[in-house]
Amino acid sequence: MQLRHIEVCHAVFQTGAISRAAQLLGISQPAASKLVKHAEQRLGFPLFERIRGRLVPTREGKLLAAEIDKLFCQLTQVQRLSQNLLAREQEHLRIGCLPCFGFGLVPQAIQQFQSRHPSLTYKVHTQHGRRLVEALLSQEIDVGIALDPIPTAGIHMETLGTAELVCVQSKQAKPQNGEMQLTDLDLQRLIGLEEGDPLGRKLDVRLRQLGLAAAPAIRVQTYYIACALAEKDCGTAVIDAFTAQAFSNSGITISRITPAIQFEVVALYNELVPQSRICAEFISRVGAIVRQRGSIEAKSKSELTSRLSQAEHSRSA
């Protein structure tokens, strides 16, 4: 089969009709029909049969369709890569991050970075773990911010620091910030994270170690939604400190969990792509914020140091 045969057959597999396939490819219906027949003649077997006015792949056609789909996926990756190579030459930073870092950590890093690089433009993608790695490999993004990832060939991991899980409740349920142990949790009101979530797994492991098990009435995909539900007193959320602190001016209280449940925050980048100076500087800035705000305790110490510094400055003035 020639490439043009493959292209037409793929269009028919997608649309189920010669007319729609021709329209998709921008050619006439007779031309598309002729190309399909020519492909079948060269192969020596039919690829389609007509059922109720629709072209349906034969058994051989279905087998071939699966391989053609793989081929077109690879072609799409090549197209993305060529477009992204051009984008890299501009003063532009493409950041990928997990949804939990897209609400507090990454926006704060960009805010601080803008004062040093006012002409820099940004594109921020929020993606889950596997998709983040795929985006790096196809050079759709320059850097990914993730947590506890699985090592992947071609991807370099740089640990930026550790952060903690915290407990978020409505002020109605708990008026003041503080500390709490997992044994103090009302597990019937725990807002669960999606099955397979890396932080959810860490929480489940710690609960099992304590002989406890949660049976959440509510499960969510993002930590942001868990925090919003906790604010409305729909339950108690155990989430990352960054998302919780982004909500700190709303109607919630944040409690540090003791003993702490920690996780690593890492920067991911493509080993085959030279890292730009701007990208390295941004990663360094994210790392500094992780160390400052990765836990409630770290945040409190940072704020106390800031207040003491301001007081000393006022006295000297």
> What gap in Å lies between CA 148 and CA 46, rounded to an integer?
50
**Per-residue pLDDT averaged across 83-93, rounded?**
64
Give the confidence band of 268 by pLDDT, cuts at 50, 70, 90.
Answer: very high
Give the Cβ contact number of residue 28 at 10 Å. Answer: 12
pTM for the full model?
Answer: 0.63
Convert the pLDDT of each residue in 91-101 to its tens digit.
789 999 998 89
DSSP three-state, residue 180: strand
Mean of per-residue pLDDT scores for the chain: 84
pLDDT confidence of residue 301 = 44
Fold match between domain 91-160+266-292 and domain 162-263: yes
Give pLDDT, residue 113. 92
Give residue limits of the domains in the chain: 3-86, 91-160+266-292, 162-263
Tell me the CATH number for domain 162-263.
3.40.190.290
pLDDT tens digits, 11-66 = 888 888 888 888 888 888 888 888 888 888 888 888 888 887 778 888 888 888 88
Architecture of domain 3-86: Orthogonal Bundle (1.10)
| CATH topology classification for 91-160+266-292 | D-Maltodextrin-Binding Protein; domain 2 (3.40.190)
N-to-C CA span, the chain: 82
Q: Which residue has the tokens 């915290």?
A: 166
* Model pLDDT for residues 121-155, shown as the tens digit of each residue: 999 999 888 889 999 999 999 999 998 777 888 99
- Return the pLDDT at 84: 65
